[in-house]
Copies of this chain bind each other. A is one copy, B any other.
């Protein structure tokens, strides 16, 4: 390897940050970047040749619980855009990686990145693109119905409707006022790591098999980032069942896509994200 080639500089930005004392916190909001980046162990290898920072994301203003519906996503989307703008303006980064499964504000962030010549990748976008390289159709495993439906809109927006076999909902809603946390994700993960039965993993396997057998999925990806930890577990279980099907997760996908784009010096087409002051314009745009 050409060791004179410098590592690309990435900023990873969480979708939002809960206030420190919130009883709804489900991922670390303090500590070194390797702690704040959930499932760090699963992406460590793809970050090995990256010079990266982590931004904890905007503090939620809708309350002290995770954003889980359209309204709340709209708030965190707007607030994260300002972080993206500042990061691009700082000149410190070659690419921005938006963390979080639902990609709030992703397309808007790409517009900002485009104006600075900096690629921005998101976890849903990247999983869909990579999944489409591997098989003819993918299915999404998602955490709860409102997220799954929101994700369905992202699939349409990213023009992957023909590639998406289904979105399979395992219905483990994130806690919020009025919604208790029956199966805390962290606990589920600990059980799975300990080799104990995890309800969440079992449901995930059941839905993944249904996606393969009933919906025509040939690749599996994840929706809400709170499901990403399931990737290695689901991959192993499917292989054990005899299903030779790749399972992706969003963070490594978004990091790898950012590397690919940086390596080709690409970000996005100026026709897809027209400048507010374009040099040349089209008379006719197609939907």
Who on chain B is nearest to A51 by CB? Answer: B1
Contacts of A154-170 to chain B: CB distance below 8 A: 155-157, 159-169
Q: Which of A46, A70, A216 has the most CB of B within 10 A?
A: A70
Known: A78-B75, A274-B145. A136 touches B159 (CB 8 A): yes
With a cutoff of 8 Å between Cβ atoms, the chain B residues found around residue A263 in the complex are 45-46, 256, 259
CB interface residues, A 114-151, toward B, < 8 Å: 125, 129-130, 132-137, 142, 144-146, 148-149, 151
Given A135-B268, A157-B153, A256-B263: A243 and B280 within 8 A (CB)?
yes
- CB-based contact B246/A166 at 8 Å: no
Q: Does A218 contact B (CB under 8 A)?
A: yes
A48: which B residues are within 8 A, CB to CB?
A: 1-2, 5
A81 within 8 A of B: yes
Query: Is A111 part of the contact surface with B, judged by Cβ < 8 Å?
Result: yes
List 29 contacting pairs A-B, 8 Å CB cutoff, sorted by A: A1-B49, A2-B48, A70-B111, A75-B81, A107-B153, A125-B133, A130-B260, A130-B266, A132-B159, A146-B274, A146-B275, A149-B272, A149-B273, A156-B156, A156-B287, A157-B157, A165-B286, A166-B284, A168-B285, A173-B276, A213-B282, A213-B284, A219-B269, A243-B280, A244-B269, A244-B280, A246-B268, A248-B264, A253-B264
